Chain A
């Protein structure tokens, strides 16, 4: 039997970016918040021993413990889904800060086109451009409406970057200047400019200069230490909930933070939640935490899984397209890229930062004409400099054996002499790509795992082919001795593709028939449940998701405050 605790105004499940922002905004407004986090405590000084490629990148020290829970996957509904038993595609966060501690910090806004994608695509290309199997929809909010929240998120985290003409209107410039344009990035810049493009420095949460945010949090500038993606930042230079929103929430005295607290269920009567059940993962003890408002901020996968396991919202049915929970699961499409090999040039590739990169805007969203293309949306074409760590980076020209004498020679020869031109492509929803509960596999607490039914679509394959060609044309202009271009999208493989930019499953929209939540991330079917995170995206854009989910988290916090003040009903 669960021990029943006294009722609290707000309980937040998960202490990553989404949960951290909500906790900080509500506690600043004087509202008591219980923060439940399944993982452990974390603080900046813990990161001093973090420059260890094996432990953090290859043994995934900061990621979720798969012995407790994972996801199952199948490419289509005719297959039996099987669990991802070891780390592959998805490296989901765990512990205070969630994935916000080990992310890269590439912090974009989505395009005005994204928020009204259905309307704008049909207006420009006609009703038939979007094929019947692609349930594309508007987001129920416009870019201009979301703009102030983007601005707040960027100021809180100190995002650096430059204004890009082809992107949405900005009320303010980025709070910090762009990161260093290194000689590596200049190679891309020169070539892109020659081809008539307008390259810009990627917006970054690795601070380009010392910065103090509106909450009074001061952080030091990035040192380009090259242990960023998959690692925590020992300087606090990388924006991370642990060094930004969480200390602010704790300072108020209104946050009751409980780590090692794994939520298994949201208690509800079908229209309203009454609280949550959680397990102390160290002792196995079970607790019931009643609350007036339940905020679900446990990342895309568990956001959908908790709702489904708790019987909240109408599950999506791929057979007839009805229902919403689990609908429009999307990923990202990055298989079109070129690798450039130089015979007598060496670059300082051991140095870098998680969000150090340069990109062109011309092939994103609807910034180019799709009339003659069999796909919509686009990709960011980019070159990055993360710091090439030695276990992960052993690039050899295609056709070289993967071990032995020749492999060793070539991988060492090119260690500091390869560059890449990559693409990060948008992912459109497909009727047959969705998430639901697995009928066979369970987590360590006996709750069904999330099942992902997903494969790349025709749209994705066309997009990859197109973008690969663009990467090749820039690569050629950069003049290396050899170029390998990859441009075929293979089937989705759970242990090969690596990207944790999952979206959808609890999507937002203008009406309850086609969406689960409104633009305040409030559930249509349960007014005191707010589901926050990239699970809200009806499709995934060609940018990293966190800037947008951060903005939506600020909007959700505003909605929760209004809801508590009004004492009920939809905001």
Chain B
């Protein structure tokens, strides 16, 4: 069972990689994920040989576009979030759920520049009980972290992160988690990993208006109804009551 799943995973990954290369626009010899790059999550099941038909619903969603990442950064993020929260028999992984789009939008926001954080100095190295004391803004930490992912992958596998096998990517992420992958402008790779993990879960489970949790499939997987005005009936039931998910949009127009 486990082996079988691993194989499936490996297949999807290589299909995705192949598609990436095929679909990239060549520009002065450099392959760019370009216009179609933003749709990657949804076309991974297409056979590589054929050009992917335009997935109409996606094109119609103006939210699926980049405000912060370069297309390359977006692709690396896509690969990383999928390892944190992979596709399995429960349902789609973070890539298909647009977690990387979510992350892009968050990093472009006020939160990405730590607008509500205490930013005055001096900055000292904290004791483990004192919380983060990081001078880098979140968006810079993330961007430099992605670069470190590639550099670390090159140092150890002579490939970019995106081109590694799934198990190798897991190995790289584990090294980041343990803080054993060098440093990011003086910050431990653990901090980048924590940010990546947190953002991935948010991208999978936050309200779809933020760009992730595509079509509320993240919620559906765990039978979470999203948002309703109340559950006074359901809460008294002995048996589980499964409800269709609703997003916050359903509250618009109430007054």
A interface residues with partner B (beta carbon < 8 Å): 45, 48-49, 51-54, 58-60, 65-67, 69-70, 73-75, 79-80, 82-86, 88, 180, 182-183, 222-227, 234, 346-348, 350-352, 385, 387, 390-391, 394, 402-405, 407-409, 411-412, 415-416, 440-442, 491-495
Tally of B interface residues using CB under 8 Å: 62
Are B205 and A495 in contact, CB atoms less than 8 angstroms apart? no
For chain B residues 99-144, which have a beta carbon within 8 Å of chain A?
111, 114-120, 122, 124, 126-134
Are B119 and A67 in contact, CB atoms less than 8 angstroms apart? yes
User: Does B27 count as interface, using CB distance less than 8 angstroms?
Assistant: no
Are B248 and A67 in contact, CB atoms less than 8 angstroms apart? no
Are B232 and A224 in contact, CB atoms less than 8 angstroms apart? yes
Are B251 and A51 in contact, CB atoms less than 8 angstroms apart? yes
Ordered by A's residue number, 24 sampled pairs between the chains whose C-beta atoms are within 8 Å are A51-B251, A52-B227, A53-B207, A54-B206, A60-B116, A65-B116, A74-B127, A79-B127, A82-B126, A83-B120, A85-B132, A86-B132, A225-B228, A348-B241, A350-B223, A351-B231, A352-B235, A387-B231, A390-B222, A403-B83, A405-B86, A415-B223, A415-B224, A494-B130
Point out the residue from B128, B130, B201, B230 that lies within 8 Å of A225, measured CB to CB. Answer: B230
Question: Which secondary structure characterizes the binding site on chain A?
Answer: loop
Point out the residue from A82, A222, A223, A408 that lies within 8 Å of B90, measured CB to CB. Answer: A408
Are B129 and A408 in contact, CB atoms less than 8 angstroms apart? no
User: Does B202 count as interface, using CB distance less than 8 angstroms?
Assistant: yes
| Cβ distance B186 to chain A, nearest Cβ, rounded Å | 16
> Smallest CB-CB separation from B193: which chain A residue?
A403
| A387 cross-chain contacts in B, Cβ below 8 A | 231
Point out the residue from B114, B115, B131, B234 that lies within 8 Å of A348, measured CB to CB. Answer: B234
> Smallest CB-CB separation from A440: which chain B residue?
B122
Instruction: With a 10 A CB-CB cut-off, give which of A82, A404, A415 has the most chain B CB atoms.
Output: A82
Are B86 and A348 in contact, CB atoms less than 8 angstroms apart? no
B interface residues with partner A (beta carbon < 8 Å): 5, 83-86, 88, 90, 111, 114-120, 122, 124, 126-134, 170, 173, 177, 197, 200-202, 205-207, 210, 218-219, 221-225, 227-232, 234-241, 248, 251, 254-255
Are A54 and B236 in contact, CB atoms less than 8 angstroms apart? no
Are B130 and A73 in contact, CB atoms less than 8 angstroms apart? yes
| Cβ distance A461 to chain B, nearest Cβ, rounded Å | 15
In the bound complex, CA of A222 to CA of B230 (Å): 8
| A86 cross-chain contacts in B, Cβ below 8 A | 114, 117-118, 131-132
Question: Which secondary structure characterizes the binding site on chain B?
Answer: loop
| B229 cross-chain contacts in A, Cβ below 8 A | 223, 225, 234
Are B131 and A408 in contact, CB atoms less than 8 angstroms apart? no
In the bound complex, CA of A385 to CA of B127 (Å): 35
Point out the residue from A227, A404, A492 that lies within 8 Å of B129, measured CB to CB. Answer: A492
Point out the residue from A48, A59, A85, A180 that lies within 8 Å of B235, measured CB to CB. Answer: A180
| A226 cross-chain contacts in B, Cβ below 8 A | 231
Are A66 and B210 in contact, CB atoms less than 8 angstroms apart? no
In the bound complex, CA of A65 to CA of B237 (Å): 41
In the bound complex, CA of A59 to CA of B85 (Å): 22
In the bound complex, CA of A48 to CA of B252 (Å): 8
Are A491 and B118 in contact, CB atoms less than 8 angstroms apart? no
Are A495 and B120 in contact, CB atoms less than 8 angstroms apart? no
Are A225 and B231 in contact, CB atoms less than 8 angstroms apart? yes
In the bound complex, CA of A226 to CA of B240 (Å): 16
> Smallest CB-CB separation from A391: which chain B residue?
B205
- Would A82 and B119 be within 8 Å (CB), given that A45-B255, A348-B235, A408-B90 are in contact? no
Are B86 and A408 in contact, CB atoms less than 8 angstroms apart? yes
| B240 cross-chain contacts in A, Cβ below 8 A | 346-348, 416
Point out the residue from A59, A222, A225, A416 that lies within 8 Å of B223, measured CB to CB. Answer: A416
